[in-house]
A and B are shown apart, each in its own frame.
Chain A
Amino acid sequence: MNAHPHAGAAARLKVDIEEKSFRSSNGGTIDVLRNLRFEVEQNEFACIIGPSGCGKTTLLRILLGLDPEYRGAVQLPGNARARMGAVFQEPLLLPWRTVEQNVRLALPKRLRSANLDALFGQLGLSKMRTFYPGELSLGLARRVAMARALAIEPDILLLDEPFVSLDDATAYQLRYLLLSVWSERPTTALMVTHNIQEAIMLSDRIIVLSDRPSHVIGTFDIRLPRQYRNEQVKADLLRSFNEKFAGTRIAP
């Protein structure tokens, strides 16, 4: 029914999903994804934008291997079993383990005793290592989730709206942190978001999805390095993005 081709150590993410549907409780089927095809190059940061309920989270679940019921093929970057770093909408930290234990538990055996000082320092978590997740604010918990995703040295980073329900200042700070940590350990990244400004700030490429059953309407490449994207440039990019996708429903 579906396959994760293992041949070759392709460095890019290849998504080719013919169909993904859910059976609803009244017996009918809901087509969520149809002919969804795109690729993300190695060490490229891609954002996925689309109307709400179009199956973005379903797509991420398929990529994470949590939902094997689909037709098509997905090829993850890296070796046969790509290491995936995931930041979900909820931080999903184990409440009964400390911040540090949460991060270390996710590490593969050979990295278990790695020195995490730099990573914790960069994310401003140095003083929180012995805290339990229940003692952290949502913003801090998200940082821990990010630390966990980045600490495993992932082949691909998958982010599902990691900045929603945070106040603007915190969200901005977190985006900035993600960017600085990611630039130091670049990896292929795919982020689902509703926020076009956020996508413009972070990504090399924005992939726009249609309404359900969703497929790719178009992509918007941003070739300008991130450090040159000042407010003016971002406003221009936003304008041209809106021109290119005028008439499509994107906002939630």
Chain B
Amino acid sequence: MGLASAQPESSRNAPNGVSGHRQWNSSAMIILSFAALLVAWHCGATLWPSRSFPPPLLVFQTFLRETASGDLPYHLGMTLWRVAASFMLAMTIGSVIGVLLGSYRRADQFFNPWLILFLNIPALVVIVLAYIWFGLNEAAAIGAVAINKIPNVVVTMREGTRALDLRYAEMAQVYRFGPLERLRHILLPQLQPYIAAASRSGIALIWKIVLVVELLGRSNGVGFQINLFFQLFDVAAILAYALAFVAVMLFIELVMVQPLERSSTRWRRRAA
């Protein structure tokens, strides 16, 4: 017993030191890699000067100007809110449908063709139809983005539900877990890797579709601004908006998604 208690203690401390070192190394690598890209871009733009290929400094100046005027934060905020709303909507609805299809084989057999159909409808078609049927409003925009993402979430969550270990559910039944406890302590932890996978690919997909939705039928947001600058042929502004948004998404990934994932899987990493 003494041995058994001593062992996890030491293995608990060791990976922290190692991963801390590795993390420092990897962030240095990321910075170096981005710096190299910037230099290459700058050299390219200096060697072949053109209005359609502005150097990074000009893009940065445009970014500062747009930020100072308040335009960029406003449009960025609108886009972010649409991304967040359609993400939440798609994850919730997609997870519920996915878990149901994963649990009931009959329902799965019946709805699978629908799923394949929805998976293959182009995003653009859904957006155009949503605007035609429900008008050029916020609900249609967010709904259209969510509908584009829901089938992917369903597929991932259905896979996760099929992989559930039923013995835990039986244990919960014997010990009379309430419905909420089952959800929180039995179902969600087992689905966590699938939820993480669905949200990872979800965020990336959704923000791109949101831009299209804004371009086609909204009067604000990054997509709307990019359309505007496209007509003005202002490539620096297009790049400034796009890069600002990418930076925000990266920030969310690093500050919210990754720490959350780390904390929810710490039982797995420590089990060395």
Contacts and interface: CB of A to CB of B under 8 A. Distances in A.
Contacts of B267: 95-97, 132, 134
Given A132-B267, A134-B270, A135-B271, A106 B175 contact: yes
Given A94-B185, A134-B268, A152 B167 contact: no
Contacts, number: 62
Nearest to A98: B267
Interface stretch (A18-26, A84-92, A182-190, A240-248): A84-92
Interface in A108-128: 108, 124, 127-128
Query: Chain A interface secondary structure, helix, strand, loop or mixed?
Result: loop
A135 B176 contact: no
A92 B4 contact: no
Given A132-B267, A140-B4, A97 B171 contact: no
A170 B2 CA distance: 13
Nearest to B178: A109
Contact of A105 (B1, B4, B177): B177
Interface residues of B, number: 25
B49 interface: no
Given A97-B185, A132-B271, A136-B4, A90 B167 contact: yes
A70 interface: no
Contact of A127 (B5, B176, B185, B271): B5
A140 B12 CA distance: 18
Contacts of A94: 168, 185-186, 189
B4 A137 contact: yes
B174 A95 contact: no
Contacts of A136: 4
Given A94-B186, A105-B181, A135-B8, A66 B174 contact: yes
A66 B168 contact: no
B173 A66 contact: yes
B10 to A, nearest CB: 11
A88 B12 CA distance: 29
B174 A86 contact: yes
B173 A65 contact: yes
Given A106-B175, A152-B175, A134 B271 contact: yes
A64 interface: yes
A66 B170 contact: yes
Nearest to A97: B185
A131 interface: yes
A124 to B, nearest CB: 6
Contacts of B168: 92, 94
Interface string B252-272: 000000000000100110110
Interface of A: 64-66, 83-84, 86, 88, 90, 92, 94-97, 105-106, 108, 124, 127-128, 131-132, 134-137, 140, 148, 152
Interface of B: 1, 4-5, 8, 11-12, 167-168, 170-171, 173-177, 181, 185-186, 189, 192, 264, 267-268, 270-271
6 contacts: A86-B171, A92-B167, A94-B168, A97-B185, A106-B175, A140-B4
Given A65-B173, A84-B174, A94-B189, 18 more contacts: A66-B170, A66-B173, A66-B174, A92-B167, A96-B185, A96-B189, A96-B264, A105-B175, A105-B181, A131-B8, A132-B267, A132-B270, A132-B271, A134-B268, A134-B271, A135-B12, A140-B1, A148-B175
